[in-house]
Amino acid sequence: MAGHSKWANRVHRKTRQDVKRSKMFSKFSRALMVAAREGGSNPDDNPTLRSLMDQASAADMPKDNIEYAIKRGTGELEGVEFESVRYEGYGPGGVAMLVECVTDNNQRSVAEIRNIMSKRDGKMSGAGSVTWMFELKGVITIPRAEAEYDDVFLAGAEAGAEDIVDDDEEYWEIRTAMEDFHKVRNALKDAGIAIERAELSMIPTSTVKVPDEYVGQLLRLLEDLDDHDDVQHVYSNFEISDEALEAYEVAGN
């Protein structure tokens, strides 16, 4: 069964291959501004900022752009003020959804997100309605072709990793407590293990198995949301069959 983590890896892989990197850099800039404003410009004291800086660098975002976004966030440079907001709801098949946005106009964003969800048989719900179904964890993905399981396990476990998920044929996925995230990531790097993606992520505490007839609508909804300029992350608790995911991909989606 494929879940949200496997889907996130797929989206990440497509994004890195996408020629439209300007949209990705724009999203990073907004997130960096908010993180710097809320937690300060020192990444040693601001784990969210440090994680975003690492991700932006890994995506080849120019260093000057990263520094510029941070200075705008702390007020050293003037510019449009953004805020971080979270919308909650349910998608096709009854799956829970968290949509994290960075926006300069909350009223516009919530209206547009509601419209996207309604077009794909989803619906918005009140604050706190689904957040309790998720936990904030560190997530580190490693290409299987770059490292053996035993090496990943030893380096991760010694640094405090909680789990290694191996349900993706291309990646190992290490999960950590939020406070151990950077320690585990650094231990893997020190062990010479190549990291594809490292970020703080909302992980579902339980999942919902989605009937195959809802899979296409659900995955199109996730893609529509991810494509919105204000959306930083979309989290869900779905499980879908590998056959349904393969059929969706074969159909050219």
Cite the DSSP H helix spans in 146-190: 149-159, 181-190
Which class does domain 2-74 fall in? mainly alpha
Distance from C-alpha of 130 to C-alpha of 142, rounded to nearest angstrom? 29
What is the domain partition of the chain in residue ranges? Answer: 2-74, 83-131+208-250, 133-204
- What digits encode the pLDDT tens for the residues 159-198? 999 998 887 778 889 999 988 998 999 999 999 998 888 8
Quick one: pLDDT at residue 101? 94
- The CATH T-level fold of domain 133-204 is Alpha-Beta Plaits (3.30.70)
Which of 231, 243, 241 minimizes the C-alpha distance to 100? 231
Distance from C-alpha of 81 to C-alpha of 93, rounded to nearest angstrom? 37
Q: Residue 173 in contact with residue 4, Cβ under 8 Å?
A: no
Domains 2-74 and 133-204 share a fold: no
Quick one: pLDDT at residue 91? 95
How many helices (H) and strands (E) in the chain? 9, 11
- What digits encode the pLDDT tens for the residues 212-244? 889 889 999 998 998 898 999 999 999 888 787
Quick one: pLDDT at residue 14? 60
Q: Looking at the domain that runs over 83-131+208-250, which CATH code has it been given? A: 3.30.70.980
Distance from C-alpha of 164 to C-alpha of 61, rounded to nearest angstrom? 29
Tokens coding 73: 């966030």
- What digits encode the pLDDT tens for the residues 47-79? 889 888 988 888 888 899 999 999 988 888 777
User: Residues for the chain: how many in total?
Assistant: 253
Which of 209, 222, 242 minimizes the C-alpha distance to 91? 222
Distance from C-alpha of 147 to C-alpha of 195, rounded to nearest angstrom? 10
191: helix, strand or coil: coil
